[in-house]
């Protein structure tokens, strides 16, 4: 008879922050089940750090240069067998917590995508969701890319059933501001890679993004909020190519 004890897998949660005082308390509370919590902060000027100190977590402060480097710095001190990446405006639900715990103790893959429905106009848009790798085995992993960073990992990828709560956009102007910010990052990267931007891109690419978000991903089932998200997504693509043209002409 085998008398060996079952060893539970451990998990580290990594949370990048910058001026997240309105969100960090609920975020940290939702991941309190983790064996280790690391807050990687970009020198917040609000109460983010003082709130984080109320929890049993490790706090690193690092000047922000890009998203990949921030997370890679935290990965260096992650002790868990698994790592869960969570943003400050996200919440791990009880159902997701239970699924994560069961999954890491009986894994069929080395990494898992989590579903993220958009939150806009005071409702969750379940037909306008993203599926992103956020749970991964702590085995020589790292991020690359400045915006929409890519996680480099070993092995196969699965998909968890439960949603991560994500307060994506706090309002119309916040949504547009966020799209503009990402557009500048993306435009600079594309220009550095000698990617081209033409008037064809200005017309076709935004139209395709709208079609993809609203029709293919069934954003129309989310009503007016779904239409708004598809429209602003298209604007974000348009903005990126405009900024690429401006950079190439030295007009940034």
Which CATH number is 162's domain given? Answer: 3.90.550.10
pLDDT at position 57 is 97
Q: Are residues 138 and 228 in the same domain?
A: no
**Residue 184 contacts residue 178 (beta carbons within 8 Å):** no
| Residue 1 within any structural domain of the chain | no
Q: Are residues 52 and 106 in the same domain?
A: yes
Residue 174, sorted as left (phi over 0), alpha (psi -120 to 50) or beta, turns out to be alpha
pLDDT at position 249 is 74
Q: How far apart (Å, rounded) are the C-alpha atoms in residues 44 and 42?
A: 6
| Residue 5 within any structural domain of the chain | no
Residues in the chain, pLDDT under 70: 1-6, 121-122, 127, 147, 168-172, 174, 251-252
Greatest alpha-carbon pair distance for the chain in Å reads 75
- Other C-beta atoms within 10 Å of 8: how many? 11
Q: How far apart (Å, rounded) are the C-alpha atoms in residues 87 and 107?
A: 24
pLDDT at position 248 is 80
pLDDT at position 26 is 97
pLDDT at position 168 is 66
Q: How far apart (Å, rounded) are the C-alpha atoms in residues 133 and 156?
A: 11
Q: How far apart (Å, rounded) are the C-alpha atoms in residues 96 and 78?
A: 21
Total count of domains within the chain? 2
Q: Are residues 54 and 153 in the same domain?
A: yes
Q: Are residues 157 and 177 in the same domain?
A: no
pLDDT at position 4 is 42
Q: Where in the sequence is the domain holding 31, given as residue range(s)?
A: 11-166
Q: Are residues 101 and 191 in the same domain?
A: no
pLDDT at position 117 is 83
| Residue 25 within any structural domain of the chain | yes
Q: Are residues 160 and 225 in the same domain?
A: no
Q: Are residues 225 and 146 in the same domain?
A: no
Q: Are residues 122 and 57 in the same domain?
A: yes
Boundary of a domain, candidates 143, 166, 189: 166
Q: How many CA atoms lie within 13 A of 164 on its CB side?
A: 30
Residue 245, sorted as left (phi over 0), alpha (psi -120 to 50) or beta, turns out to be alpha
Q: How far apart (Å, rounded) are the C-alpha atoms in residues 12 and 80?
A: 5
| Residue 184 within any structural domain of the chain | yes
**Residue 84 contacts residue 32 (beta carbons within 8 Å):** no
Q: Which residues contact 101 (CB under 8 A, 6 or more apart)?
A: 33
| Residue 4 within any structural domain of the chain | no
Q: Are residues 128 and 50 in the same domain?
A: yes
Q: How far apart (Å, rounded) are the C-alpha atoms in residues 150 and 152?
A: 6
Sign of CA dihedral 89, 148, 143, 100: positive
Q: Are residues 75 and 30 in the same domain?
A: yes
Boundary of a domain, candidates 142, 166, 190: 166
- Quote the tokens at residue 178: 């966020």
Residue 223, sorted as left (phi over 0), alpha (psi -120 to 50) or beta, turns out to be left
Q: Are residues 21 and 111 in the same domain?
A: yes
Q: Are residues 28 and 145 in the same domain?
A: yes
Q: How far apart (Å, rounded) are the C-alpha atoms in residues 32 and 132?
A: 22
pLDDT at position 3 is 39
């Amino acid at each position: 008879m085998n008398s060996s004890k079952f060893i539970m897998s451990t998990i580290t949660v990594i949370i990048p922050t910058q001026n997240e005082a309105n969100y960090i308390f609920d975020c940290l509370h939702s991941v309190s089940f983790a064996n280790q919590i690391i807050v990687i902060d970009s020198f917040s000027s609000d109460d983010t750090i003082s709130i984080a100190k109320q929890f049993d977590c490790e706090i690193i402060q690092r000047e922000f240069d890009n998203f990949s480097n921030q997370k890679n710095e935290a990965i260096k001190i992650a002790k868990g067998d698994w790592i869960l990446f969570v943003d400050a405006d996200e919440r791990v639900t009880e159902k997701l917590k239970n699924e994560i715990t069961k999954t890491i103790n009986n894994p069929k893959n080395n990494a898992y995508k989590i579903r993220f429905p958009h939150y806009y106009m005071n409702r969750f848009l379940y037909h306008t969701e993203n599926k992103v790798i956020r749970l991964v085995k702590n085995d020589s992993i790292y991020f690359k890319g400045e915006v929409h960073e890519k996680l480099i990992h070993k092995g196969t990828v699965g998909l968890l059933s439960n949603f991560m709560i994500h307060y994506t956009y706090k309002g119309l102007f916040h949504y547009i501001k966020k799209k503009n910010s990402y557009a500048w990052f993306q435009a600079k990267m594309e220009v550095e890679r000698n990617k081209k931007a033409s008037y064809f891109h200005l017309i076709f690419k935004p139209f395709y993004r709208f079609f993809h978000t609203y029709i293919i991903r069934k954003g129309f089932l989310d009503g007016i909020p779904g239409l708004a998200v598809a429209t602003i997504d298209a604007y974000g693509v348009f903005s990126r190519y405009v900024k690429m043209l401006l950079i190439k002409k030295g007009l940034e």
